Amino acid sequence: MAATLSDKLVVAISSRALFDFEEENHLFEAGDEAAYMRYQLEHVHAPARPGIADALVRKLLAFNTSQAQRVEVVMLSRNDPASGLRVFASAQAAGMAIERGVFTRGRNPFAYLRPLGAHLFLSANEADVRQALAEGFPAARVMTDATPAGDRYPHEVRIAFDGDAVLFSDEAERVYQAGGLQQFLAHEQALATTPLGSGPFRPLLAALHRLQQQAQASQTMRVRTALVTARSAPAHERAVRTLLQWGITVDEAMFLGGLEKGPFLRAFEPDFFFDDQSGHVQSAAAHVPAGHVASGVSNPEPG
C-alpha cells in the first residue's frame, strides 16, 4: 500500500527558510549555477546555520512519537538535486527527521504543493509564495533577517496570525481602504453576527486545531495560537463570532486598534507570525520570526 500524508499536518519549506543560506544565495541569484553547485558540494559536510523557521520546524516535528507520526516537513526548493545533498545533511546534523524533498533546479516548486497536500508553504521567494497563495495554499515569504524565536517555551509551538486577509477574507479591509475607519466600524457592527469569509490561512489554523486535539493524550507538546489584529471594539465581535462559527478557537486575541504589533508579539514570543501588511511584518520581524502573506487588497500583483 502506498504511503500517504493525508492524516498529517504537512509543511513544505524552502532551504533558505529552514537554513541560513544567504551567503550561498548570492551565487545562486548571480546566475552562476556551476559555482553554486560546487560550493554546496564542497560544503556538504558543513552543516548550515539555523534559519528563521528553525524553531517552528523543530517544535512541529516534536509532535511525532514512536506511536504516532502527526507532522511531515518536506523540503521544497529551487536548489538542484546535488545541492539538495547539503540540505538533507544539514537537517540530519540538526536532528531533524526530514525525509522527503523536491528540488527543481531553479524552476517554480509550488506546483508540488497539491500532491503533497501542504497546509503551509514557507519560502524566501516572493513569486513562489504569490503563486502558492493563488493556488489556494497558505503561504508566506519568510523574512530571513527577522529575529529568531526565543526558547522559553520548548514544549509549545506558538503561532500568531493577523486577521483580515490572513485568517479571514479581505472583505472588511476593502471597506476600510475605500471608506475609512468610521465606515469600516459601521460595516462591521452591522454585520457583527455574519461570519467573515475564509482567508488563506484558515486551513492552517484548522490543521493546528486538529493537531492539538490529537496530541492532547500525550501532553508532550502543545499548540498555542494568537489572533493579533488592528481591529478594536466594536469591530472585534465579528472576528470572534467568525472563529466560533468555524468551530476553531485561538488561545489569545489582541485587538490593538492600530497600535504597533511588534512589542505585543515580543511579549507573546511566537515561533512565527503571519501578516498581510508589510509594515506590520517589518515591525514584527524586529522582535520575532515573521512572514509576509501577499494576499488581499493590500498586495496587488506587481507591475
Between residues 42 and 247, the one the model is more confident about: 247
Contact 275, 162 (CB under 8 A): yes
For the chain, what are the domain ranges?
Answer: 9-142, 156-292
Is pLDDT of 36 > 80?
no
What is the tens place of the pLDDT at every residue in 203-228?
999 999 999 988 876 668 999 999 99
Between the alpha carbon of residue 268 and those of residues 26, 147, 157, 185, 264, the distances in Å are 34, 14, 12, 27, 6
> Average pLDDT of 255-277?
96
- Neighbour tally for 178: CB within 10 Å: 10
Q: Does domain 9-142 have CATH number 1.25.10?
A: no
- pLDDT at residue 68, rounded to an integer: 87
DSSP 112: G
pLDDT value at residue 303: 64
Average pLDDT over residues 63-77: 92
pLDDT the model gives residue 18? 96
State mean pLDDT over 27-34. 71
Task: List the grid coordinates of 210.
Answer: 486538529
The pLDDT-based confidence of 34 (bands split at 50, 70, 90) is confident
Domain 156-292 has CATH 1.10.10: no
- The pTM score is 0.94
**CA angle, 113 as apex, 111 and 119 as ends, to 5°?**
155
pLDDT tens-digit readout, 156-165: 999 999 999 9
Q: What is the pLDDT of residue 226?
A: 98
The reply to whether domains 9-142 and 156-292 share a CATH topology is yes
pLDDT the model gives residue 108: 85
| pLDDT attached to residue 274 | 98
Answer yes or no: is pLDDT of 31 > 70.
no
Average pLDDT of the chain is: 92
Quote the percentage of the chain above a pLDDT of 70: 96
Q: Exactly one of 54, 145, 151, 162 is catalytic; which is it? A: 162
* pLDDT tens digits, one per residue of 117-132: 999 999 999 999 999 9
Active site residue 162: yes
